[in-house]
């Protein structure tokens, strides 16, 4: 049948979870988008856990000191560093996406003359600058954690 409900059905997603991660023809920007999603979910989980841990303050000073002593292990320090690195990436990539969506930093339109330059290649210097800034900030935070 070509009419009715059959025509309105969307094609099935045969990629599954791979389709959520696989970049296809978009390459670097798609991977940044996927990492943006993952860091956003991680930060949301961190905020939820942060509220729960702060709720232990209601149990009194003894509970609070016991919980804080358990968070002084090296494993939690690594987790704290990863949360900061995720925050840096998520904030800077989010700012880049906002500027991009609002039309800033795209440059002036170019005539459609072969060979065509697509918008992704024109935005690539901005992406590289943002990644360099993220790398520098993550290294500074790492040095702060080590020292």
Interior CA angle at 105 toward 100 and 110, to 5°? 105
CB 89 within 8 A of CB 42: no
The pLDDT score that the predictor gives to residue 118 is: 64
pLDDT at 25 over 70: no
Evaluate whether residue 20 is within a structural domain.
no
Evaluate whether residue 50 is within a structural domain.
yes
Evaluate whether residue 138 is within a structural domain.
yes
The pLDDT score that the predictor gives to residue 83 is: 96
Q: Is the model more confident about 13 or about 84?
A: 84
* Mean pLDDT of all residues belonging to the chain: 83
Evaluate whether residue 128 is within a structural domain.
yes
Domain count of the chain? 1
Evaluate whether residue 137 is within a structural domain.
yes
Evaluate whether residue 7 is within a structural domain.
no
DSSP string, 43-90: HHHHHHHHHHHHHGGGG-HHHHHHHHHHTTSHHHHHHHHHHHHHHHHH
pTM recorded for the entire structure: 0.76
Q: Where residue 90 sits, what CATH number does that domain have?
A: 1.20.1300.10
Percentage with pLDDT > 70 across the chain: 80
Range of the domain at 96: 26-146
pLDDT digit string, tens, across residues 92-145: 999 988 988 887 776 677 777 777 766 656 677 888 899 999 999 999 999 988
Query: How far, in Å, CA of 90 to CA of 40, rounded?
Result: 7
Evaluate whether residue 133 is within a structural domain.
yes
Evaluate whether residue 2 is within a structural domain.
no
């Amino acid at each position: 049948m070509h009419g009715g409900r059959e025509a309105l059905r969307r094609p099935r997603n045969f990629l599954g979870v791979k389709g959520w991660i696989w970049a296809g023809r978009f390459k670097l920007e798609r991977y940044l988008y996927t990492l943006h999603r993952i860091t956003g979910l991680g930060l949301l989980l961190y905020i939820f856990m942060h509220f729960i841990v702060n709720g232990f303050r209601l149990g009194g000073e003894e509970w609070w000191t016991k919980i804080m002593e358990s968070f002084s292990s090296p494993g939690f320090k690594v987790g704290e560093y990863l949360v900061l690195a995720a925050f840096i990436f998520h904030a800077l990539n989010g700012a880049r996406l906002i500027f991009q969506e609002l039309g800033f930093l795209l440059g002036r339109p170019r005539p459609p003359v072969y060979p065509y330059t697509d918008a992704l290649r024109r935005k690539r210097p901005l992406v590289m600058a943002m990644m360099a800034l993220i790398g520098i900030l993550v290294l500074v935070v790492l040095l702060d954690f080590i020292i």
